[in-house]
């Protein structure tokens, strides 16, 4: 058994930097290289691909990356673990075997399957979705690596499982090694989104060397502790802030549920061990939940939109006129018609763009006719018959299909987690025998406000970093401070009511507040902010990526002692 295993990541989403695989393989020593290609929206995209051609459904980018780098990975003795198999891990494994033969290399390829529940969705009480994929754990990956796989292709596993699997194989962890598995879950969560752990999307980006960011590496130890780092000489930084930010990304409360262990985020200790080296220790693991989460995507209808430019004076009156004219002229009203007036304009502007606002109209319906050409033509036909200065940002189109995401849950005993080894033998992977009913995290109220002395109105971001993202139709926004005093103030000041005041879009929504004192952090989950998810695209920022930065920009009374 080794004392440390180095696990790198070269992809945080389908469309991430193509060259990252080669950069990670050539940049320094690695034992494993992971690649995360799947997201809720990606599963919908792959599902539509599969409808057109059943032989597709996987991330074709990964196959192109392997054409350039498979021989290099084998030469460096770096095993690759990826969820690029998407809806068709078998198809990608076959394509990889064909590629290996074409390249004249001997690559041992395994694939993990069983997550696709589409054919059984009805009997499992999941409806009739376009895609239904259970989030599998890491032990199928472990089995494949233990049997000598050079590449392990999976479908929908949890993002952290891409890291847990290699660590479990290297250290021969079993289901009862809850603390080590939890540590690997935490490390996997940090590196799963690629350069977000090395300075990408980082609130204090002006304080670190940006540019061509390096991708992250987790050095795992047998007890589950880790060091997050990156290859020497690459851009960005790995510090307490970049790691804390990523730990807050797309999470809910202190318990981070995974199929092999529930990791306690509130147990984690971070230490800056050296330049670009952050140690993660003391992770505590609890039994995993009985059920597996299922990603469900449904085609919901056709969507179209029109964006009207309003310039100069009487912006609201112009918007009201066009809205009235447009709705009156529509041959058939779509089932959903949403209007948003975005006021970019300013008085006495120096440029025409600064004098203009955008009136945004989105239409949805299951009938393509109602949101297709007749919808677009109605907008265009008003060009010379409406308000002065009428213009469109672009000609509206014919509309396009859209989908909605929702989570489902199914008992892990009903999911056939399988791994097909390099020799073609398929092995069943049993779920954890420790599974139990999950313990729900309670909301944490803010502590009593203390006297912090004189204050001055400044942006909240002067003392707090933030990271936000989507959780289906909900959004999370985590905030963290860089000193104990600043955290104590932030914790007492930023109540749920205060958050709703600062983010009026959340005023009428259910908001949960969770404290993570070890990280000097607070995490909020805003239920329903994103409608039915990113694919429905109901919001200016459909994945809530900028929500945290909006919150940081709000002016609040900050104690002068922090200046």
**pLDDT (tens digit per residue) in 323-355:** 999 999 999 999 999 999 999 999 999 999 999
Read off the pLDDT of residues 469-504 as tens digits, 9 standing for 90 and up.
998 889 999 999 999 999 999 999 999 999 999 999
Alpha helices in 287-419 (DSSP H): 315-329, 368-371, 373-381
If pLDDT is split at 50, 70 and 90, which confidence band does 540 have? Answer: confident
Residue 505 covered by a domain: yes
- Give residues with Cβ within 8 angstroms of 149, minimum separation 6: 79, 108, 109, 110, 421, 422
Say yes or no: 20 and 115 in one domain.
yes
If pLDDT is split at 50, 70 and 90, which confidence band does 538 have? Answer: low
Residue 135's nearest CA partner among 48, 260, 9 is: 260
| pLDDT average, residue stretch 498-512 | 97
Name the phi and psi angles at 316, rounded to 5: -65, -35
- For the chain, how many residues are written? 563
Residue 99 covered by a domain: yes
If pLDDT is split at 50, 70 and 90, which confidence band does 44 have? Answer: confident
Kindly list the distances between the CA atom of residue 54 and the CA atoms of 47, 74, 400, 416, in Å, as whole numbers in the listed order.
9, 30, 21, 21
| pLDDT average, residue stretch 27-41 | 95
Say yes or no: 310 and 284 in one domain.
no
Q: Of all residues in the chain, what percent carry a pLDDT higher than 70?
A: 99
Say yes or no: 147 and 262 in one domain.
yes
Say yes or no: 414 and 321 in one domain.
no
Residue 442 covered by a domain: no
Q: What is the pLDDT of residue 532?
A: 74
Say yes or no: 63 and 90 in one domain.
yes
Q: What is the pLDDT of residue 8?
A: 98
Read off the pLDDT of residues 151-207 as tens digits, 9 standing for 90 and up.
999 999 999 999 999 999 999 999 999 999 999 999 999 999 999 999 999 999 999
Q: How many domains does the chain have?
A: 3
Q: What is the pLDDT of residue 140?
A: 98
Say yes or no: 483 and 540 in one domain.
yes
Residue 340's nearest CA partner among 319, 313, 361 is: 361
Say yes or no: 171 and 269 in one domain.
yes
Residue 300's nearest CA partner among 410, 399, 409 is: 399
Query: Within a 13 Å sphere around the CA of 333, how many CA atoms are in the beta-carbon half?
Result: 10
Strand, coil or helix: what is 158? coil
Say yes or no: 102 and 155 in one domain.
yes
Residue 444 covered by a domain: no
Q: What is the pLDDT of residue 142?
A: 98
If pLDDT is split at 50, 70 and 90, which confidence band does 358 have? Answer: very high
In the chain, helix, strand, coil percent, each to 5?
30, 30, 40
Q: Of all residues in the chain, what percent carry a pLDDT higher than 90?
A: 90
Rg of the chain on CA atoms, in Å: 25
| pLDDT average, residue stretch 239-263 | 97
Say yes or no: 400 and 411 in one domain.
no
Q: What is the pLDDT of residue 51?
A: 85
If pLDDT is split at 50, 70 and 90, which confidence band does 39 have? Answer: confident
- Find the domain containing 554 and state its range: 455-562
Structure tokens at 206: 């002006």
Q: What is the pLDDT of residue 535?
A: 65
Give the residue with greater pLDDT, 403 vs 7. 7
Residue 309's nearest CA partner among 349, 353, 363 is: 353
Residue 433 covered by a domain: no
Say yes or no: 464 and 491 in one domain.
yes
Read off the pLDDT of residues 273-318 as tens digits, 9 standing for 90 and up.
999 999 999 999 999 999 999 999 988 899 999 999 999 999 999 9
pLDDT at residue 536 above 70? no
Q: Determine contact, residues 410/117, Cβ cutoff 8 Å.
A: yes
Say yes or no: 152 and 278 in one domain.
yes
Residue 552's nearest CA partner among 484, 477, 493 is: 477
Sign of CA dihedral 148, 58, 220, 290: negative
Residue 188 covered by a domain: yes
Whether pTM > 0.85 for this model: the answer is: yes
Of 298-302, 318-322, 427-431, the range with the lowest mean pLDDT is: 298-302
Domain CATH code at residue 396: 3.30.70.380
The pLDDT mean for the chain works out to: 95
Residue 101 covered by a domain: yes
| pLDDT average, residue stretch 82-100 | 97
Kindly list the distances between the CA atom of residue 217 and the CA atoms of 225, 278, 451, in Å, as whole numbers in the listed order.
13, 11, 43
Residue 327 covered by a domain: yes
Q: What is the pLDDT of residue 490?
A: 97
Say yes or no: 235 and 323 in one domain.
no
């Amino acid at each position: 058994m080794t004392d440390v295993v180095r696990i790198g990541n070269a992809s945080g989403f389908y469309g991430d930097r193509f060259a990252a695989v080669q950069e990670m393989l050539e940049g320094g020593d690695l034992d494993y290289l992971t690649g995360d290609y799947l997201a809720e929206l990606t599963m919908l995209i792959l599902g539509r691909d599969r409808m057109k051609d059943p032989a597709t459904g996987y991330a074709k980018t990964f196959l192109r990356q392997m054409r350039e780098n498979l021989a290099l990975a084998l030469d460096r003795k770096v095993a690759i673990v990826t969820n690029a198999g998407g809806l068709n891990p078998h198809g990608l494994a076959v394509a990889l075997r064909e590629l290996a033969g074409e390249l004249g290399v001997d690559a041992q390829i395994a694939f993990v399957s069983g997550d696709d529940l589409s054919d059984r969705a009805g009997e499992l009480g999941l409806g009739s979705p376009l895609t239904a994929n259970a989030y599998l754990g890491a032990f199928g990956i472990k089995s494949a690596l233990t049997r000598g796989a050079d590449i392990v292709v999976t479908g929908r596993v949890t993002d952290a499982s891409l890291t847990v699997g290699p660590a479990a194989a290297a250290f021969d962890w079993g289901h009862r090694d809850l603390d080590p598995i939890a540590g690997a879950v935490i490390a996997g969560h940090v590196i799963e989104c690629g350069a977000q752990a090395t300075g990408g999307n980082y609130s204090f980006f002006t304080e670190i060397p940006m540019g061509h960011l390096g991708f992250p590496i987790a050095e795992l130890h047998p007890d589950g502790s880790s060091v997050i780092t990156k290859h020497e000489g690459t851009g960005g930084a790995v510090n307490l802030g970049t790691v804390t930010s990523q730990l807050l990304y797309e999470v809910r409360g202190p318990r981070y549920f995974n199929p092999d262990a529930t990791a306690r985020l509130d147990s984690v200790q971070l230490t800056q061990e050296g330049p670009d080296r952050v140690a993660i220790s003391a992770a505590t693991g609890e039994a995993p939940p009985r059920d597996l989460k299922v990603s469900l995507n449904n085609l919901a209808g056709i969507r179209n939109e029109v964006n009207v430019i309003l310039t100069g004076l009487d912006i609201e009156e112009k918007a009201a006129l066009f809205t009235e004219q447009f709705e009156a002229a529509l041959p058939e009203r779509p089932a959903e018609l949403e209007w948003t007036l975005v006021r970019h304009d300013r008085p006495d502007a120096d440029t025409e763009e600064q004098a203009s606002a955008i009136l945004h109209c989105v239409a949805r319906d299951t009938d393509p006719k109602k949101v297709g050409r007749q919808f677009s033509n109605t907008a265009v036909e008003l060009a010379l018959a409406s308000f002065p200065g009428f213009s469109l940002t672009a000609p509206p189109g014919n509309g396009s299909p859209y989908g909605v995401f929702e989570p489902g849950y199914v008992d892990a005993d009903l999911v056939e987690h399988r791994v097909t080894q390099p020799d073609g033998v398929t092995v069943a992977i049993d779920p954890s025998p420790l599974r139990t009913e999950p313990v729900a995290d309670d909301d944490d109220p803010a502590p009593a406000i203390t006297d912090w002395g004189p204050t001055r109105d400044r942006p909240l971001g002067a003392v707090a970093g933030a990271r936000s993202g989507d959780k289906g139709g909900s959004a999370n926004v985590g905030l963290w401070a860089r000193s104990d005093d600043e955290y104590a103030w932030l914790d007492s000041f930023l109540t749920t009511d205060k958050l709703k005041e600062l983010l009026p879009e959340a005023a009428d929504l259910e908001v949960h507040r969770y404290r993570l004192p070890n990280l000097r952090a607070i995490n909020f989950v805003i239920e329903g902010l994103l409608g039915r998810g990113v694919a429905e695209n109901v919001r200016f920022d459909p994945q809530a990526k900028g929500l945290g930065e909006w919150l940081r920009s709000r002016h609040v009374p900050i104690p002068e002692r922090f200046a």
